[in-house]
Amino acid sequence: MQGLEITVLLGLSMLVGTVLAPRLRVATPLVLLVIGLALGFIPELRAIELPPETVLLLFLPVMLFREAWTTSLRSVRRSLRYIIPMSTLLVVASAFAVAGVATWMGVPWEAALVLGAAVAPPDATAVAALGRLLPAKTFMKLKAESLTNDGTALVLYAIAVALLLGDQITPLQITGMVLLSYLGGAAAGIAVAVLAFFALRRMQSTLTINLTLVLVPFVAFLIAELIEASGVLAVVFAGLIVAWVSPRITTAISRRAADATWPFGVYLLNGALFVLIGLEVQLVLHEISPSEIGILLLVTVAAWLVLGVVRYLFQWLFSPFSRPPAGSSRSLRHRSRVVSTVAGFRGAVSLAIALSVPTVTAAGEPVPGRDAVVFVTAGVIVLTLLVQGPLLPAVIRWAKLPSDDAAIEEYELAERAISGAALASLDDLAAEHGVSDRVRDRARREGYERLELANARAVARQRAAEERDLAELDASLDDDAPSTMGPVPPGAADDDGRSRAKPASGPPTRVPSGTGDGPFASGPLEMIAVSDDIDLTQRSPLLRHKEAQRLRLAVLDRKREVLLRLRRDGTIDDLVARKILAGLDLEEIRARGADKAVE
Encode the chain (599 residues) as per-residue pLDDT tens digits.
567 888 888 899 999 999 998 888 888 888 888 898 888 888 877 777 767 677 777 788 888 898 888 888 888 888 888 888 888 899 999 999 999 999 999 888 888 999 999 999 888 777 877 777 787 888 888 888 888 887 788 888 888 888 877 777 777 888 888 888 889 999 999 999 999 999 999 898 989 999 999 999 999 999 998 988 888 889 999 999 999 999 999 999 999 999 888 989 888 888 888 888 888 778 777 777 777 888 989 999 999 999 999 999 998 888 765 665 655 677 888 888 899 899 888 887 888 788 888 877 767 777 788 888 888 998 898 899 889 888 888 898 898 887 777 888 888 888 888 988 888 888 888 888 888 888 888 888 887 887 777 777 778 877 887 777 787 777 666 654 444 433 444 444 444 444 444 444 444 433 344 444 443 333 343 433 444 444 444 446 777 778 778 888 888 999 999 999 999 988 888 889 999 999 999 988 888 874 454 44
Same domain? For 45 and 74 the reply is yes
Q: Are residues 73 and 24 in the same domain?
A: yes
Q: Are 368 and 456 part of one and the same domain? A: no
Domain presence at residue 575: yes
304 lies in the same domain as 355 = yes
At 318, phi and psi to the nearest 5? -90, -10
In a domain, 531, yes or no: no
**Do both 382 and 440 map to the same domain?**
no
Please tell me the predicted confidence (pLDDT) of residue 325. Answer: 61
Residue that is last in its domain, among 399, 423, 442: 399
- How crowded is the C-beta side of 590, counted as CA atoms within 13 Å? 9
For residue 320, the model assigns a pLDDT of 60
What integer pLDDT is reported at residue 512 of this predicted model?
Answer: 40
Report if residue 525 sits inside a domain.
no
Q: Which of 399, 415, 440 is the last residue of a domain?
A: 399
For residue 521, is it within any domain? no
Rounded to whole angstroms, the Cα distance separating 333 from 315 reads 10
- pLDDT for residue 558: 92
* Domain that includes residue 474, residue range: 406-501+543-596
Name the nearest CA neighbour of 61 among 170, 192, 172: 192
Residue 70 and residue 242: Cα distance in Å, rounded? 11
How far apart are alpha carbons 344 and 318 in whole angstroms? Answer: 17
The answer to whether the Cα torsion of 467, 469, 471, 473 is positive or negative is negative
CA distances from 389 to 120, 127, 400, 402 (A): 18, 10, 18, 21
Same structural domain for residues 393 and 464?
no
What is the structure's pLDDT at 540? 62
Q: Domain for residue 202, yes or no?
A: yes
**Please, are residues 237 and 84 in contact by the beta-carbon 8 Å criterion?**
no
Helix (H) or strand (E) run with residue 520 in it: none
Single out the residue of 284, 250, 241 nearest to residue 381, CA to CA.
284
Listed in sequence order, the DSSP H helices in 325-436 are 330-342, 348-355, 370-383, 389-399, 406-424, 426-432
- What is the reported pLDDT for 526? 40
* Alpha carbons 258 and 210: distance in angstroms, whole number: 7
Identify whether the C-beta of residue 209 lies closer than 8 Å to the C-beta of residue 539.
no
Query: What number of H helices and E strands is found in the chain?
Result: 27, 0
Count: domains in the chain: 2
CA distance 535 to 528: 11
Question: Given 344, 365, 399, which residue is the final one in a domain?
Answer: 399
Helix axes 89-104, 109-119, angle to 10 degrees: 140
Contacts by 518-526, CB closer than 8 A, 24 or more apart: none
Q: How far apart are CA 15 and CA 31, in angstroms?
A: 11
Spell out a b/e string for 65-74, using b for 16 or more CB atoms within 10 Å of the CB, else e. bbbbbbbbbb
Q: Rounded to the nearest 5°, which phi and psi values hold at 368?
A: -70, 130
- Asked if 178 and 294 sit in the same domain, the reply is yes
All residues at 6 or more sequence positions from 465 whose CB lies less than 8 Å from its CB, including other chains:
405, 487
Q: Is the domain of 372 the same as that of 451?
A: no
> Per the domain annotation, does 44 fall within a domain?
yes
pLDDT at residue 326, rounded to an integer: 57
Same domain for 439 and 395, yes or no, is no
* DSSP state, residue 250: S
Quick one: 206 and 78 in the same domain? Answer: yes
Angle between helices 290-318 and 80-87 (to 10 degrees): 150
Q: What is the CA radius of gyration of the chain?
A: 29
Q: Is residue 442 part of a domain?
A: yes
Q: In this structure, what CATH number is given to the domain that contains residue 267?
A: 1.20.1530.20
In a domain, 117, yes or no: yes
Q: Is 168 exposed, middle or buried (0-12, 13-18, 19+ CB in 10 A)?
A: exposed
| Alpha-carbon span 460 to 463, nearest angstrom | 5
Task: Give the residue among 146, 143, 91, 93 at the shortest CA–CA distance from 120.
Answer: 91
> Are 283 and 254 in a shared domain?
yes
Calpha distance 348→381 (Å, rounded): 9
Distances (CA, A) of 97 to 106, 107, 344, 346, 578: 15, 13, 16, 16, 41
Same domain, 297 and 432: no
Tell which residue, 255, 187, 247, has the closest CA to residue 223. 187
Q: Residue 64: what pLDDT?
A: 85
